[in-house]
Structure 1
C-alpha cells in the first residue's frame, strides 16, 4: 500500500517536530548542567568553612529544576554532583582514587537529588490542591519545605562525605550547620528566580503558583534599574561600614536593607523582585568574602533568608488585593448584568431609606420583570435570554439619575430605588422606562421586549422588606391584568 503525499508530509513534519523537541530538551539539559556547575564553582569561591559557602546557589537551582521539570532534571543534577565531587578532589588535593570519587559522587548526588526532589514534589502537590487565594499558604509551604530540604541535604551530604573519607567523621558534626544555612540561603533566595528562568518559553510549564507570575517583563526597565542601584549602593555602604567597624552590632544593620527590597517588591513584577533578591544576595556574598567578614557569615546568611522570606510575603499583597477587589465586585454587582446584586441593593436601600426618614424626603421602589421571559428562553435559548437581561439592564440604566439604584433580584426580576421621588414622579419614570423597553429587541431575533412594573412609595414606618413585598404585589397585579402595565400602591 503506497503512502499518499499528504500522509508522507505529515509523517515528515511529525518526525521533524519530534527531533526539534529533542534538540530543545538537550539544549535545556546542557544549559541546566552548565549553570549548575558555574554556580557551584562560584559558591566554592565564597566558602568560609570546608564544604560550607556563604550561600549555595545550586541548591536553589536543583529545587527549581525538580519543581518545573520533575524527574527529567535528575540525570543532569546527578551528573553535575559527580563532576563536582571530582572537582573538589582536585581543588583540595585529596588524592582519592577515581573509583572512590565516583562512589562518593553518586552517593552525594543521590542525597542532594533526593532531598530537593522530595521538597519540590511536596510543594507541587500543595500548589495543585490550593486555590489562587491561598498564596500566603503557598509561600509559607515553600519556605518550610525549602528549609527542610536544605536541612536534609546538609545532614545526608555531610554523612556521605564522612563515610567516603573526604572529611573526618568528627568534622561532619561541625560543618552540617553552616552547610545547611548556605543551602537554605541558596534555596530560599534563588528558587523563585530560577523558576522564572526555567519556565520561560517552556512548552510544558503549568499555570500555577497562586497568581504569582515569574515570567519576565520588559516594561519600565529604567525605573527598576534605578531602584536596584539604590538597593545595592546601600548594601555596599553597609558592608563597608561593617568592615571598618568590626562589631557584631554594625553587621546587624544589614537587616534594615529589607526596606529598599520591599520597595522593589511592591512596585515591580514578581520576576524582577526575585532578580533583585538574587543580585542583592550575590553582592552580599561577594562583599563578605572580599572584605574578610567571614566572622559574621552566619549573620549575613540569616539576613539573606529573612529579607527574602519577608519579600515573598510582600509579593502576595498585590495578588491578594486584586483577588479581594474581584471578590468585592462579585459581591456588589450581578455577574451577568453588572447592576447591583440583590444583597448590595438592599444594603444601599437601607441606607437611603434611613437618609430619607432623617430629612423627610420621599423615596419610591419599583419592581419590574420581563414579560414572557420563559418563552424567550424556550424559543431562542438561554444565551438569547442572557442577552435580553443585559439589554434590559443597559436600557434602564441609561434612563436613570446618578442617585437611582438599579439591582437584579433574580431571574428576570429587577429592583429600582428612586431616592427623593414621590409616587407620582415614580409612576412617570416607570412609564418612561416601560416605553423604552418596548424598543428593545432580543439580539438575533425579531422579538421585542416589554415589562410589567409594580411601584410603591416607601412609608416612614416601613422597612425595605415590607416595601418590597408591597411592590411585588403590585407587580403581580400588573401581570394578571395582561402584562406590559404599571400598578402602584400608596398607603
Structure 2
C-alpha cells in the first residue's frame, strides 16, 4: 500500500512539474510521468494499472482547474477514464513487449536490449500522444485542429521523459522489491553507496557546464548557440564509463530536469525542440555507453573460459598448445632446453564407477591443485581432456624433467579422493622437445611414453631422449 501511494504521489508530482514547463497546450518540454508509467509497468505489470488510471483521472480534473475550462464532473470523469486507458494501454503494451524481448535475449545481447528499449519507448510515447490528443478532442476539451497541431510536441515530450527517466525509475521501483526478476540484461540499476563524493563532483561539473551553455544560449539567441548543448554528451559519457548504471541514470535525470528548468526560466521556448532532441540523443548514447562495461565483463568471462579449463582452472587444451608454440620459439631463439610431461590418473574410470562422477571431478581438481603447488611460475599446466594433463617445462632438460615428474608422481600418491579411503596415483610420459621437432610430434612421443608407463604397471615415469642423444 505504501509503495502504491508513493507511486501515485510521485506520478502526480512529476505531472505537475511537467505542466509548469509547457511550451504548447498539453505539451511539456519533457514529461517525466511517462517514464514512471513505463517503469511501473515493467516492474509491477498489471498491478500498476489501477494506480496510473487513478492518477490520470486526478490529472484530468486538475487540468480543468488549471485551464479554467469549467467542464462538468461527468464529462471530466469520462475524459479522465479514456485518457487513463489510452495512457496505460500505450505504455503497458510497450513495457510488455520489452520484457518479453529481454527475457528471450542472452546477457551478451545488451545492445539489442537497449535498442529495443529505445524503439519501444519511442513508439509507446507516439501511441500515447496520438491516442491522448484524440481523447481530448473527442471529449471536447480541445478542438480537432488543435489536436493535429500538438501531437508532435506531445510525443517529443513523452519520448524524452520515457527514454531519459525510465532506467532511473526502474532502479527506484525495484529497490528492495522482493519480486523483481533478474531480466535487465546484465545492467544493475540498484543504488551504489561507493565513492559518492567523486560522483557528486562529476555531477556538479556536468550541471555547471549545462548551466553555462544555457546562459550563453539566452544571451546570444542564435539557433547555432542552442546546438552547443549536444557537446554535453562528453561529461555524461564520463559519468557513464566511471559510475554505476543507477548513478548514470540519475545523472541523465538531473541533466534533463535542469535542461527543462533552464528552458522555461530563460524563455528559450523557441528552441524547445532542439533541447528535447538533445535530451533524447544524449540519453540514447549514454545507454549504449552503459553496455560497454557489461560487454567488457562478458568478454573477460569468455576469455577466461577459453584460456582455462572450467573444472580444474588450469590452462585449456587450446590455450596450452598456443602457449607451447610460443615457448618453443622462445627456447629455440635463446637455445634453451624445453621439456614436456604428459600424465593421467591411474584407474580413473574405476573412480567414476565406484564413487560417482562427482568424486571423479573432485579428484581432477585435487590433482590440478597438488601438481600446481610444485611448479615454477614459468611452468605451464594444462588439461588435455578427461583425466589427462600436460605440463610444459621451459629451460628444463630431460634429466631434470624426469626428476620433476618423479617428484610430482610422489606428490600424487598423497592425494586422497574426497570422502573415501582411495589414494590417487599417476603415470607420466616425459620428453625433451628436439630442436627441429614441432610440438605435435613431441606430444605424440610423450603420449607414447605415457602408454609405456601404463603398460608397465602404472604409477611410473617413462621418458624418451632426443634422437641425436640416443
**Match of residue 213 from structure 1:** 188
1:290 aligns with 265
Q: How does 1:27-42 map to 2 (within 5 A)?
A: 27-42=2-17
Cross-structure match for 2:66: 91
**Paired residues for 1:302-381 under 5 Å:** 302-381=277-356
The CA deviation at 1:382 is: 2.2
* Pairing of 1:99-110 with structure 2 (within 5 A): 99-110=74-85
Deviations 1:382-429 (A, max 9, x none): 222222211211121122222211100111110011122222221111
SS in structure 1 at match of 2:418:
coil
Other structure's SS at 1:407 match: strand
Match of 1:462 in 2: 437
State the match for 1:141 in structure 2. Answer: 116
Corresponding residue for residue 168 of structure 2? 193
Structure 1 distance, partners of 2:411, 2:92, is 65
What's the CA shift for 1:52? 0.3
Match of 2:53 in 1: 78
Question: TM-score, normalised to structure 2's length?
Answer: 0.97
Q: Distance in 2 between matches of 1:336 and 1:93?
A: 72
1:261 aligns to what?
236
Look up the match of 1:436. 411
Query: In the alignment, what sits opposite 1:129?
Result: 104
Corresponding residue for 1:400? Answer: 375
CA deviation profile, 1:207-242 (whole Å, cap 9, x unmatched)? 121111111111221111111111111111111111
Moved more, 445-454 or 121-130: 445-454
- Point out the more displaced range, 246-255 or 455-464: 455-464
Structure 2 residue 104 is the aligned partner of structure 1 residue 120: no
Q: Distance in 2 between the 1:109 and 1:201 partners?
A: 28
C-alpha distance in structure 2 between counterparts of 1:340 and 1:204, whole Å: 40
Measured in 1, the distance between the counterparts of 2:335 and 2:458 equals 34
Query: For each residue in 1:277-310, what CA deviation from the matched residue of structure 2 results, as whole angstroms up to 9, or x when unmatched?
Result: 1111111101100000000100110111011111
Structure 2 partner of 1:21: none
* 2:251 is aligned with 1:276: yes
User: Structure 2: how far apart are the matches of 1:385 and 1:359?
Assistant: 41
SS of aligned partner of 1:215: coil
Q: CA offsets, 1:56-105, max 9 Å, x none?
A: 01100010011111111111111111111111111111121222211111
Any idea what the Cα deviations from partners look like across 1:33-57, whole Å, max 9, x if unmatched?
Answer: 1111111110000000000000001
How many residues align? The count is 466
How much is the aligned-residue C-alpha RMSD, in angstroms? 1.2
Q: Does 1:153 align with 2:153?
A: no
Residue 241 (structure 1) aligned with residue 216 (structure 2):
yes
Q: How far did 1:155 drift?
A: 0.9
Counterparts of 2:160 and 2:95 in 1: how far apart (Å)?
16
Shift of 1:444: 2.4
Distance 1:352 1:232 in 2: 54
Aligned 1:388-427 pairs, distance under 5 A? 388-427=363-402
User: Normalised by the size of structure 1, how large is the TM-score?
Assistant: 0.93
User: Alignment partner of 1:209: what SS?
Assistant: coil
SS in 2 for 1:246: coil
Cα displacement (A) at 1:30: 1.3
1:164 CA displacement: 1.3
3-state secondary structure, aligned to 2:191: coil
Question: Aligned with 1:369: secondary structure?
Answer: strand
In structure 2, stretches of 5+ residues that fail to align are none
Distance 1:29 1:422 in 2: 75
What's the CA shift string for 1:181-207, capped at 9, x where partnerless? 000000000000110111111121101
1:452 paired residue number: 427
Query: Following the alignment from structure 1 to structure 2, what is the Cα–Cα distance between the partners of residues 358 and 377?
Result: 44
Does residue 184 in structure 1 map to residue 162 in structure 2?
no
**1:361 deviation in Å?**
2.5
